[in-house]
Amino acid sequence: MIHGPRGSFRWIAFVLAATSFAAAVPSPLYPIYEQNFRFSAGVLGLVFAAYTPGVLLMLFLVAPQAERTGRKRMLYAGMALSALGALVFALAPSVGWLALGRFISGLAVGGTTSVATAAMSDLEPNHDAHHVARVAVAANFGGFALGVALSGITVQFGPLPTHLVYLLPILASGIGFLAVKVSPETAPEIGERRPFRVPAVSVPASARLPFWVAAGGIAACYSIYGFFAALVPSYVRAVLLYPHASGVGGIVALMFGMAAFTQLATAQIRDRRALLVGFPLMIVSLAALVLILPLVSWTLLIPVTAVLGVAVGLTFMGSVTLVDRVVPAEQRGGTLAGFYSAGYLALAVPTIGVAEASESIGLPKAGFLFGVVLAAAVAVLYVVIYETPTPPGGGGRPRDLPRPQVSG
């Protein structure tokens, strides 16, 4: 894996997956923490959302400086923060420590994602920006799916369920540290002296309509991400009355795993075309989800989750590649900062809202409202993208063009 033209590219993809893996491990344990620390679903939503400030802090203030200070340094820091977040979770004596662990996990992801993607862009032998985006998204979703699945199995069958499991992300971070070590430095401005700069969120006037469709698409994906990672484990345990962590982890892993598989299996479906398929599929699967939540049925939940994962995979990839298509290379930094900010805010705000609502009306009804509102929003996005002509560029950025730098 070290050798060959794609060796370093694959190692950095592993680093990207390792941060998602670490962030996923606590998900099957949230129902256990609720019971042990006696906190409500609303507090769980706040704990889960503590991740977002950490991501945004690193995304805007720290990660952009890696172009001058060195990308490898930032990736080393990301691996260290992933391990530290796991350690905080393992030793957590109260709910406040869980929130701190989530915040540190957010720092790790925010410091790693854009920097690793930029390094992968430089290390991809064919300069294929679409391949980079596809692998990066698959690494994120795949790392999360593997993390939550292994976590559920370890929690159910291993001793010390809220402690031993965190050896998994610590081990993954250690391997990630070695992966960074064997990879070359790719920062283009390393050593240059420039004033401290914060990326300004900006969108070219010519790209605003497709940008907002793409931002809405990624926000929808992250809303579903938050619902499944934070609240579905409680639904499985408290409503379906399934106490086993492996099943809790399995249903969450199914959604993320199908999203990752879709990235790899649909290489030729991208930008507007992916959204024209992903949006309707997301509407249908959300409608099915809200109908089955009150029915309390494992049999129905599994196929609906799988289809929803495919919809998330298509929509996420379509959104990412649509932004890549329409935004000029020289304006990518600020535009991508705004684009991913929309996603991470959607990861936090709807999750908190559904968690708070579930205290009053129950999780099935709160999930029903979540699905209805999100399906309606996605329907509007579908109408807009359906009536918007395919942006110039046809099949995306060709291989023979210089690859854009991913920053911020």
Per DSSP, the three-state class of 259 is: helix
Residue in 310, 266, 221, 259 with CA at minimum distance from that of residue 131: 266
111: which residues sit within 8 A by CB, 6+ positions away?
58, 62, 63, 74, 77, 78, 81
What are the domain boundaries of the chain?
7-185+202-387
C-alpha span between 308 and 221 (Å, rounded): 10
Tell me: pLDDT of 204 over 90.
no
Half-sphere exposure of 204 (CA within 13 A, CB side): 15
Give the tens place of pLDDT for each residue, 13-58.
Answer: 999 999 999 999 999 999 999 999 999 999 999 999 999 999 999 9
371: which residues sit within 8 A by CB, 6+ positions away?
286, 287, 289, 290, 293
pTM for this entry: 0.89
End-to-end CA distance of the chain: 28
- Among the residue ranges 111-120, 305-314, 352-361, the one predicted with the least confidence is 111-120
Tell me if 173 sits within 8 A of 18, measured CB to CB: yes
Tell me if 26 sits within 8 A of 148, measured CB to CB: no
Give the tens place of pLDDT for each residue, 152-202.
Answer: 999 999 898 899 999 999 999 999 999 999 999 988 777 667 666 666 777
Give the CATH superfamily of 7-185+202-387.
MFS general substrate transporter like domains (1.20.1250.20)
